[in-house]
Amino acid sequence: MTKPALFLDRDGVINVDYGYVHKKENFEFIDGIFELVRYANRLGFLVIIVTNQAGIARGYYTEEIFSKLMLWVKSEFKKNEAEIDAVYYCPHHPSHGHDSYLVKCTCRKPGPGMFLTARDDHKINMKRSIMLGDSTSDIFAAESSGVGHSIYLGNDNVSCAINARDLIEALAIFSVLASQKNDQIKQYEFSKN
Ligand SMILES: [Mg+2]
Ligand SMILES: [Zn+2]
């Protein structure tokens, strides 16, 4: 049985995007994120962070610093009775990377790499999965890797996403999308019998 995932961008979705955040002191959780993740956990969605971290390529911080910060982030979620199942990040940049980080990779969003790796690692049902991002590259990456629905915390119109003003609205949209899918699956199972 494959599980759906709620894919989350990090900066601008989980924490306020102050630009290249790599310290606890600058990591400000956005209102509603713990509730959203807790709710997704309850519905049986895996919760997976997919984040571009070009600050590593640019030499602003190391992968070790990033990983330590994310361990702390995961523990903060736990304290709030919410669980992050996995974190995927792209440390590259195609033109501003130092040394081995100067790569035209496929993991940097809008590339699909992180989503496809997560899919294979966790046996994710991509059609039933949902992306939440604040940048069009989040939405395009999800779209091109087969994620069924996207919620966009932004003002532009992106044809393949539903706009949400904040995480409260995102949670409401997520609950509708998630339950719609469940009903369709129930219907499918019913028609099989
Ligand atoms: Mg973002
Ligand atoms: Zn990359």
Compute the distance between CA of residue 68 and CA of residue 64 in angstroms, rounded to an integer.
Answer: 6
Whole-number Å distance, alpha carbon 9 to ligand 1 midpoint, is 6
Q: Is the predicted pLDDT of residue 184 greater than 80, yes or no? A: no
Query: What domain range includes position 16?
Result: 5-192
Q: Is the predicted pLDDT of residue 17 greater than 80, yes or no? A: yes
Ligand with smallest separation from the Cα of 16: 1
pLDDT of 30-69, one tens digit each?
A: 999 999 999 999 999 999 999 999 999 999 999 999 999 9
The answer to whether residue 11 is catalytic is yes
Instruction: Extract the tokens encoding 129.
Output: 């999965």
Mind giving me the DSSP string for 94-107? TTT--GGGB---SS
Identify the pLDDT of residue 15.
98
Residues whose CB falls within 8 Å of the CB of residue 81, separated by 6 or more in sequence, listed in order: 34, 38
Identify the pLDDT of residue 193.
39
Ligand with smallest separation from the Cα of 108: 2
pLDDT of 129-182, one tens digit each?
A: 999 999 999 999 999 999 999 999 988 888 889 999 999 999 999 999 998 755
Whole-number Å distance, alpha carbon 137 to ligand 2 midpoint, is 13
Ligand with smallest separation from the Cα of 107: 2
Please, what sign has the CA dihedral across residues 118, 121, 126, 128? negative
Q: What percent of the chain has pLDDT over 70?
A: 93
Closest CA to 125 of 93, 96, 99, 148: 148
Compute the distance between CA of residue 27 and CA of residue 162 in angstroms, rounded to an integer.
Answer: 27
Compute the distance between CA of residue 181 and CA of residue 111 in angstroms, rounded to an integer.
Answer: 26
The answer to whether residue 134 is catalytic is no
Q: CATH number for the domain including 74?
A: 3.40.50.1000
Count of domains for the chain: 1
Whole-number Å distance, alpha carbon 7 to ligand 2 midpoint, is 17
Q: Is the predicted pLDDT of residue 186 greater than 80, yes or no? A: no
Query: pTM to 2 decimals?
Result: 0.93
Q: Is the predicted pLDDT of residue 101 greater than 50, yes or no? A: yes
Whole-number Å distance, alpha carbon 56 to ligand 2 midpoint, is 11
| First-residue to last-residue Cα distance in the chain | 18
